[in-house]
Amino acid sequence: MASTATAPAPQPIPPSLSLPPSQFARLQPHAYLLAHLSPPASSQQPSIRANGRSPSQFRVTSANTGSLTHTNGSAVVRLGDTTAVCGVKAEILHTEDIASWSVSHSSSSSFASNKRRKLTNPTAKLGEDRTDSGDNESHIEDFSLLVPNLSLSTGCAPGLIPGAPPSALAQSMSHQILSLLHTSRLVRAEDLQIWYERPNFGPEEPEHHNESEQMDVDVEQEGSDEASIQTGEIKAFWVLYIDIMIISLAGNPFDAAWTAVLAALRDTKLPRAWWDVDNETVVCSDIVSEARKLSLWGLPIASSFGVFEADAAAGWRSVTIQDAEEERKLAEGDRKGIQRRWVLADPDGYEEGLSQERVCLVVDKPQGGDGKVFIVKMEKNGGFAVDRKELKELVDISTRRWEDINQILKQC
Amino acid sequence: MTDRRRINGPSGGTRPPVFASSIKSTTTATERPQRQRQPNELRKIFLKTGLIPSASGSSYLEFEHSASLSAARALPKSLIPPSSSLKLACTVHGPKPLPRSATFSPNLVLTTHVKYAPFAARKRKGHIRDASERDLGVHLETALRGVIVAERWPKSGLDITITILEAEDDRWWGDAPDSHDAAWGMMNVLAGCITAASAAIADARIDCLDLVAGGVAAVVVDESVDGGEPSTPRLMLDTDPAEHRSLLSACVVAYMPARDEITELWLKGDNSKASVGTDDKSLSYETLIDGAVDAARGAHSVLAEAVRESAERLAGLETGYST
């Protein structure tokens, strides 16, 4: 306990800096960043991060989509010096290849009821739809129709050995992206279904014509061919292989990767596909005008934060909840204008190494939501600096970030 | 065996989409892309260094889109791309101390690593390096080993990693796989790897004898203009395999123009058939290699420009001109 109370004060900055700043930054990273964030009152300098940003400022972000030829959708997202390339490749999963595929899945009743729901509330609000689209949406998770994989072994940073199996960081980020795709229900299961509809119009009706109507499930035709829908059957699913290569890593890979996934999915076009009875397989059309884009639910956008503590040994503190005494001291310090911790938005590689506590927020602001902000994911670990009050502020920052990214994605 | 460290797709496996137009042979809507360049004209190369700040040296290389591909991009009709153009990123880490466990080496130990992104090719690539990727790595290593002045860094290692974001096709997608088919696209990829790695090594300020550049030439057979009979074999530089009916042989070199030396030579195919009956010396292996060397000379001019930019950037940093 004694050691926790008397943590050594950060190194005082020598009055005359005999080292060039870049070397000082390497030797005393903590003191360097602290000196930037809390400049001496006499110097009249504003508190600013070592990289020249204000604490809540994100790096310059740019996105570019559709540049890779062999993908259904692709995106390059640059977040400062961090670059993520995401490619989406669609393949077909036949229901006969699914071991657990049962007759109940393809029963026409569930589909018809689904259709009816869609008919009754065509202008469904996002929030409602997400909750009651139940059974259909579970297909994505049950049959693993979305397969995101993130690769860091591209030589993106010195410590990562190329050719080695994915590091713990890469594995955890792949899983975070997967679970975020599932929980946010970004991709709609209807978009990934490939239907076969038995012709019951009469033998002379050309089959092909039938199917082309069937495939456009999103167009307002459902009412007219309700009868034919009764005999519909899912024959296959599209599986989206979402591969993210982090080409350059300079902190905050998750935001870059997620934004790249989002941009690539927005860019993704699936060809029109139908069940070919003669060949017993799924056949696609290569005509661009028949291909359709994925219709995504909302636009969840991630923003990450790191907490920098003035107390260099904070990371080594034993796990004790701060008592009232300490809290009071901190509050007092705040009143005096002495800030002891900073929440840094979009930490770069240098700052990431200095912050123990991380916060990741994913927020969405749906179109019809009257400006309401939905928190899709909230993750916080590594410390107790960020409290309810701070989290509320972070949600506001994330909302502003949402607006920015929304603009960037619209333009690309 | 599933890979526990990655997210695997459905256990039953998935199939790549089959397009109706490719199974019905009657459709003639899609045609093989035509080469619009002169036989000795190279594609433009985009080469930029220093895009990856965390590496000691880095470069990004991209080939110009072929005429058919840029047409397809401007006015998309079919979802099947007619051809593709090489895009790759290269990083150099080091020189750095070898791990303690490594045996003593008086020279710089060079490690090369080439990996395709899963979405790089028409067919999805696996996450683990396959034989062709390892092969490319070995070829790249031989090409570079002759260039680097390795005695300057005893007990050190240099890692070169190349990520291929988009690869070249081995043949036109409409063609059926052929018996004398080889991985022709790989040769273009190797040439690109050599040029990009050379730029990245220079960007990392590693001493080299010269800037080594890669070049490809091939003996090709095209359909004649009026269709029907194939034309006589011809030598072409910087071939895009998708644009030709068949490639008889191809050659890739790593070439140092200042010393007029070749550090890597890879020749595939057999053009004896092509030269039978003709006294034409223009289809011998020597001319093929000369063609590849000419292509490498072309790439070298781009390389020199990229390295000059990299040096200027460093000079700017040192004088504190740009921050």
Q: Of chain A residues 67-96, which have a CB less than 8 A from chain B?
A: 67-71, 74, 81, 83, 85, 87-94
Question: Across A51-55, A134-138, B97-101, B305-309, which has the greatest mean pLDDT?
Answer: B305-309
Q: Is residue B15 part of a domain?
A: no
Are the Cβ atoms of A88 and B119 closer than 8 angstroms?
yes
Which of B1, B7, B141 has the most A C-beta neighbours within 10 Å, making it the best mutation to test the interface with A?
Answer: B7
Structural domain count of chain B: 1
Task: Measure B5 CA to nearest chain A CA, in Å.
Answer: 6
Residues 6+ away with beta carbon under 8 Å from B152: B108, B207
d(CA B200, CA B60): 9
Q: How many residues are recorded in chain A?
A: 412
The span from the CA of A237 to the CA of A233, in Å, is 12
Interface test with B, best of A70, A147, A176, A207 (most B CBs within 10 A): A70
Question: A51, A88, A101, A286: which to substitute to probe chain B, counting the most B Cβ within 10 Å?
Answer: A286
Task: Show the tokens assigned to B182.
Answer: 């080889």
What is the band of B280 on the pLDDT scale with cuts at 50, 70, 90? low
CB contact under 8 A, A155 and B77: no
Per the prediction, chain A carries an average pLDDT of 79
Residue B100 within any structural domain of the chain: yes
Q: Band the pLDDT of A103: cuts 50, 70, 90.
A: low
Q: What is the pLDDT of residue A122?
A: 38
CB atoms closer than 10 angstroms to residue B26: 6
Range scoring the smallest mean pLDDT among A84-93, A118-127, B189-198: A118-127
By CB neighbour count within 10 A (0-12 exposed, 13-18 middle, 19+ buried), where does B284 fall? middle
> Does residue B26 sit within a domain?
no
Give me the pLDDT at residue A151, please. Answer: 93
Question: Does residue B33 form part of some domain?
Answer: no
Judged against a pLDDT cut of 80, whether residue A336 lies above it is answered with no
In chain B, residues with a C-beta closer than 8 Å to the C-beta of A145 are 10
- Mean pLDDT over residues B210-226, rounded? 85
According to the model, what pLDDT value does residue A340 have? Answer: 77
**B6, B10, B117 member nearest A144 (Cβ):** B10
Q: Which of residues 32-51 of A touch B (CB under 8 A)?
A: none
Give me the domain span that covers residue B307.
39-76+83-322
Q: Could you tell me what percent of chain B has a pLDDT over 70?
A: 88
Q: In the β-sheet with B261-269, what is the strand arrangement from edge to edge? A: B234-237, B213-221, B246-256, B261-269
In B222-261, alpha helices (H): none
A147 CB within 8 Å of a chain B CB? yes
Domain ranges of chain A: 48-55+304-410, 61-199+217-296
Would you give the DSSP letter of residue B223?
B
In angstroms, the CA B250 to CA B37 distance is 18
**pTM of the prediction?**
0.86
Residue-level pLDDT at A165: 87
Asked if B230 contacts B223 with a C-beta cutoff of 8 angstroms, the reply is yes
Q: Which positions in chain A touch B118 (Cβ < 8 Å)? A: 87, 89, 149, 241, 243
Which pairing describes strands A269-270 and A292-293: parallel, antiparallel, or unpaired? Answer: antiparallel
Q: Which pLDDT belongs to residue A26?
A: 87
C-alpha A312/C-alpha A37 separation (Å) is 14
Contact B113 A155 (CB under 8 A): yes
Largest CA distance in chain A: 93
Tokens encoding A271: 């060809």
- Do residue B122 and residue A70 have CB atoms under 8 angstroms apart? yes
The whole-angstrom distance between B68's CA and the closest CA on chain A is 12
- All residues of chain A having their beta carbon less than 8 Å from the beta carbon of residue B9 are 91, 93, 144, 147, 239, 241
Q: What angle do CA A384, A385, A388 make, to 5 degrees?
A: 90
Nearest CB partner across the interface for B76, out of A68, A74, A288:
A288
| CATH 3.40.718.10 for domain A61-199+217-296 | no
CA distance B259 to B263: 11
Whether B27 maps to a domain, the answer reads no
Q: Please tell me the predicted confidence (pLDDT) of residue A224.
A: 44
Cβ within 8 Å, pair B79-A291? yes
Tokens representing residue A409 in the block: 């994605």
Count of all residues that appear for chain B in the document? 323
Give the distance from residue A201's alpha carbon to the nearest chain B alpha carbon, in angstroms: 24
For residue B276, is pLDDT > 60? Answer: no
Residues of B whose CB is below 8 A from A291: 79
- Within 8 A of B6 by CB-CB distance, chain A residues are 149, 166, 171, 174
Phi, psi for residue B86 in degrees, rounded to 5: -65, 135
CB B58 within 8 A of CB B203: yes
Query: What is the structure's pLDDT at B208?
Result: 93
Please give the DSSP secondary-structure letter assigned to residue A379.
E
Tell me how far apart the alpha carbons of residues A312 and A8 are, in angstroms, rounded to a whole number: 8
In the prediction, which pLDDT does B273 show? 65
Do the beta carbons of residue A65 and residue A267 sit within 8 Å? yes
Cis peptide before A122 (omega within 30 of 0): no
User: What whole-number distance in Å separates Cα of residue B18 and Cα of residue A100?
Assistant: 25
Q: Would B224 be classed as within a structural domain? A: yes
Residue in chain B lying closest to A276 (CA): B20
Query: Which chain B residue's Cα is nearest to A177?
Result: B7
Q: How far apart are CA A91 and CA B15, in angstroms?
A: 6
Q: What is the CATH number of the domain that holds B293?
A: 3.30.230.70
